[in-house]
Structures are given as C-alpha cells and as structure tokens.
Amino acid sequence: MRTDLERFFTPRAIAIIGASQDLNTISGQPLKFLQMHGYPGRLYPVNPRYREINGGKCYPALAELPEAPDLALILVNASRVAEVLRQCGEKGVPYAIVFSSGFSEVGGKGVAMQQELIEIARRYDIGIAGPNCQGMINVA
C-alpha cells in the first residue's frame, strides 16, 4: 500500500489519459483547469486521436511520455480503464484518479470490472482514487 501521498497531492507531472480537444467536456476540463489555475508541473495529455490539445503536444500513448508522471487522470470508457491502469503500472505511475463510471454502481459486470482494477492496483502498487471520482481540490 502506498504511503508517499505527497506525490499524489503535489505531483510534479500529470498524465491526462483520454484528454479531449473540447475543453468543456469532462475529458477536456482537467487540462483546462490545471492550465487556468497555474499548475506548475508538467502536463501530458494522452489521446491517439490528437497531435495537439490547447496549444501543447498530445501523446498517442502513455508509453510515449518522456517520464513516468506522478499522477494519471484516467478519462476513458469503463471498458478500457483496466488496460490503461496496467499501462500506468508498466510505466511506473504511482497514483491514478479514475473519473470513469460504469463499475460497481451498475452491478453485475461492473462489480467484476472494479475488482479487476483493485487487483491491478495491488500488483503494480498504484494508489487509486475512484472510479467515479471527479478529481480533487486543494483548498489550502
């Protein structure tokens, strides 16, 4: 279990996996707000459909990033989250926030999908907030 929460709450680099060029959507807003509020670290939008988002480079895959970010924001369809989380583990990403929904709250298959996330997180020692998490705010 991860205990070095400083990298979660004050990450030096953040990957936004599933980032969108439409900055008014749930998958576009994290980049928009991090930039708007002066996030001082490095931002890595990841989406194979785009080469650039909001004036910055967009990476086609997590494996293409020049470093392992401290935090991954996962904004992909529920059916893809497990694979993305595995990729985070392989890249050495220590923390992830899963925005995606469609897990235990829908019952049946969603419960099994959420259990798979737990198993992947344990295997790679990834600290997770979510699924169904809308991010975090630092009010200090």
Domain span at residue 73 reads: 6-129
- The encoded tokens of residue 29 equal 């807003």
Low-confidence ranges of the chain (pLDDT < 70): 1-2, 139-140
- What pLDDT sits at residue 2? 67
pLDDT of residue 140: 64
pTM listed for this prediction: 0.94
In whole angstroms, what is the distance from residue 19 CA to residue 44 CA? 9
- Inside any domain, residue 136: no
- Classify the C-alpha dihedral 126-27-54-37 as positive or negative: negative
The alpha carbon of residue 97 and the mean position of all alpha carbons in its chain are separated, in whole angstroms, by: 5
User: Alpha-carbon distance 14 to 12, whole Å?
Assistant: 7
Strand partners, 13: 42
CATH, residue 81: 3.40.50.720
